Amino acid sequence: MDMTKRASASVQVEGSGQESERGSSEAPSMPKPRMWSRETYSGSLIFNLGAFFLPALYSTLSKLWVARIDASQVVTTDVYTYIGVIIEVLNEGLPRSAWLVIGDKTTRTIHARLNLAYTMIVAQVVLGTVMTIIFLGANKSLAGTFVPAEVRQTSLTYVRLSSVQALTSAMEAAIAASTRALDNPDVPLIISSSKFLVNIVLDFLVISKFHVGTRRPSVITQAIIRLVCDAVSALVGLFYFIYVVVKHRKQEAGDRQRLRLTLSALSTLARPSVYTFLESALRNAIYLWLVKKIIQLGTNYATAWGVFSTIRWGLVMVPVQALEASTLTFVGHNWGQFRGRTANAFSKAARADLLEITRPALVSCAIALAFETVFCIALSWNGIEGFAFYLSESEVVAEIAQKMWKASKPSGLI
């Protein structure tokens, strides 16, 4: 290593190739980003709000379309959500380490960060493919667990089509997490936008009241549309990631090394991911156990839970998820800056250092608490019942969903 590299490297970090080099990938004389830049907390939050809002909006609209086709089949569409919960355990493994590892732009070079992102995406695609094969083989068990007995036999095809989201979701999660850590929250926004636009167009042409042709649409048609759109958005995200790689490498003069999948890079990502994976597995196992018990109560309760979850996700969790994504990105950046200032990798952080590292989290908590307090109280008095009826076409389901909302008021603030 020459003297220039020795001057810019203060502590060695683990990784592959250039991942062991510690140095700043940005020149100290770079101008400060504007307030609404995607490299700032506020700008990142705007991009993330859009990225999380569009899937929630489509999930709401899809229930509306299915309710118009056959209200008894609304509960079938929740299989897609519950399969997604299982996949969430996978997506909260390696992708959750992106904030700590890839988000460290102070002590890692651009090439090292891109190489880690590439490794994560490849690993997630492999894991997602394995999960898809498992789901396809266990489609009867999935239907038996997450679909009421009344519509179970007609839901097997829907379960098979929904199983492919294991692959597309794993790819999207890896691309979204890594590009957010690289200060490119526009990539997840493009993924969500492409999925939303294609979904809306196909839904309007195929399953809406104004659909093309005389053939009556079915819930299976909606599952096929979802499968196509998931595949399209995952590929759009992959191509945009390639564009981001090219753009960043052009900014790095003299970077001619290829991105490689290496065991050392995978190990760097896997070590901090163990804790998030285990926590997610435990949390989602409890949630799915609860869902199974609700489904056993019958179609009305199962449908009401699905409608309630859709409303809660769209109205409550979208801002929370956006705040979380921006928080994790900038806590990761601040952590990298702290490591860059210390000569010892195990240096003790002072109180001022801890406040600086966690400042984005404190700001996000204050925003979330103010928003959710007002919002949950405002909707607690029969504000959900009408919305639930609109999505389910059932007065019984709407009444149950309203009771669920009132009973879960405190959870909206957590």
Which long-range CB contacts under 8 A does 9-15 form with residues at least 24 apart? 10/107, 10/340, 10/343, 11/107, 11/339, 11/342, 11/343, 11/344, 11/345, 13/104, 13/107, 13/108, 13/339, 13/345, 14/264, 14/267, 14/268, 15/108, 15/112, 15/115, 15/116, 15/264, 15/265, 15/268
**How confident is residue 16, by pLDDT bands cut at 50, 70 and 90?**
very low
Domain-located, residue 284: yes
Domain-located, residue 24: no
Per the prediction, the chain carries an average pLDDT of 79
What domain range is 352 assigned to?
A: 41-413
Domain-located, residue 363: yes
In this predicted model, what pLDDT tens digit does every residue of 105-114 receive, in sequence order?
878 888 888 8
Domain-located, residue 408: yes
Domain-located, residue 115: yes
- Reference 76, options 65, 86, 87; nearest CA is 65
Q: What is the pLDDT of residue 125?
A: 94
Q: Rounded to a whole number, what is the largest CA-CA distance in the chain? A: 74
Domain-located, residue 150: yes
Task: Domain count for the chain, please give it.
Answer: 1
In this predicted model, what pLDDT tens digit does every residue of 206-234 receive, in sequence order?
876 666 666 777 788 888 888 998 999 99
Please determine, for residue 352, whether its predicted confidence score (pLDDT) is greater than 80. yes
Tokens of 233: 């958005």
Domain-located, residue 11: no
CA distance 81 to 169: 12
Domain-located, residue 312: yes
CA distance 339 to 322: 26
